[in-house]
Amino acid sequence: MEKQMPIKTYLWIEDSKAGCVFWQRFMQQLCPEVVVESKKNCSELVRAVRSLGDSDNRYIIALDNSFDNLQSVMEQKLLKRYTEGQDNIFLMDVICFEYILLEFKDLIKWIYAAGDEFLVKRAKAVAAREKLVGSIASGHLDYKDMQEVVEYDRHLEGHNIEQLAARLLFDLTRNTGFEVSKGAIGECWIKSCCEWEGRQEDDICGLDGSRLAIFDKMKTVYEKTSIKAQFQKAGLEVVL
């Protein structure tokens, strides 16, 4: 009798830099059995799904769903067409990697210590983030009409939600151990406290008094972002 191979679960992503590092570290901590594979960009991810002939293993697809980006909307439509009727493929509904961290409920509490001067210097960015995340969570997507967001981004009309999220996350985290840019993710996201090699004596964040292990960081991000709901819909069990 032929031995049946165990079913594998794959997470396919489009990110190749900061997002890829995050997803690899995140899954390593919470779902080590899941194989994370980067397809380098949106087009290659869509192409990989289109040509997927495997009906035995499970696939979770994380393609940016930037709702006001025409290219992203078209790629989402293609994915839905290619996966229609396939029970082993689940499409995650996430705006982008940067938005996941932007919506993280403890973001401001983690990156800034109490009384941090950045809370004053970056007050417009903090206010824009709070208003944007709250509005999208409630289903109101007309963020370009929000006073706080307009005051933060003078060139808002030329940006889509993915571009705004990336810029806002960078502005909030820059010059901290949590800095996230298109090319890199801060060590404080992907390492235990405090293993940041470049840390200076005055680099004090909100976690300074409650040092967290990397597992606890990833667990908190899971529980306080939309990742939890998306994984539950995909039937992916996370043992905490």
Mean pLDDT in residue range 211-236: 96
pLDDT at position 1, please?
47
Instruction: Quickly list H helices, the chain.
Output: 18-30, 42-50, 70-83, 97-103, 107-111, 118-121, 123-137, 147-152, 161-173, 187-190, 214-223, 227-233
Helix (H) or strand (E) holding 38: strand 35-38
pLDDT at position 190, please?
97
Q: Yes or no: say if 179 and 173 are a contact pair by the CB < 8 Å rule.
A: yes
Mean pLDDT in residue range 92-112: 97
User: How far apart are alpha carbons 130 and 108 in whole angstroms?
Assistant: 10
Whether 3 has a pLDDT exceeding 70, the answer reads: no
Question: Hey, what domains does the chain have and what are their CATH numbers?
Answer: 9-96+221-233 (3.40.50), 98-212 (no CATH)
Mean pLDDT in residue range 194-209: 87
pLDDT at position 240, please?
82
User: How far apart are alpha carbons 211 and 213 in whole angstroms?
Assistant: 7
Give the residue among 206, 223, 227 at the shortest CA–CA distance from 215.
223
Q: Yes or no: say if 34 and 9 are a contact pair by the CB < 8 Å rule.
A: yes
Mean pLDDT in residue range 74-100: 95
Whether 187 has a pLDDT exceeding 90, the answer reads: yes
Residue 135's CB is within 10 A of a number of other CB atoms, namely 17
Q: Yes or no: say if 49 and 76 are a contact pair by the CB < 8 Å rule.
A: no
pLDDT digits (tens, 9 = 90+) for 159-173: 999 999 999 999 999
User: How far apart are alpha carbons 65 and 46 in whole angstroms?
Assistant: 13
Mean pLDDT in residue range 109-130: 96
pLDDT at position 91, please?
96
pTM for the structure as a whole: 0.94
Residue 98, SS3 per DSSP: helix
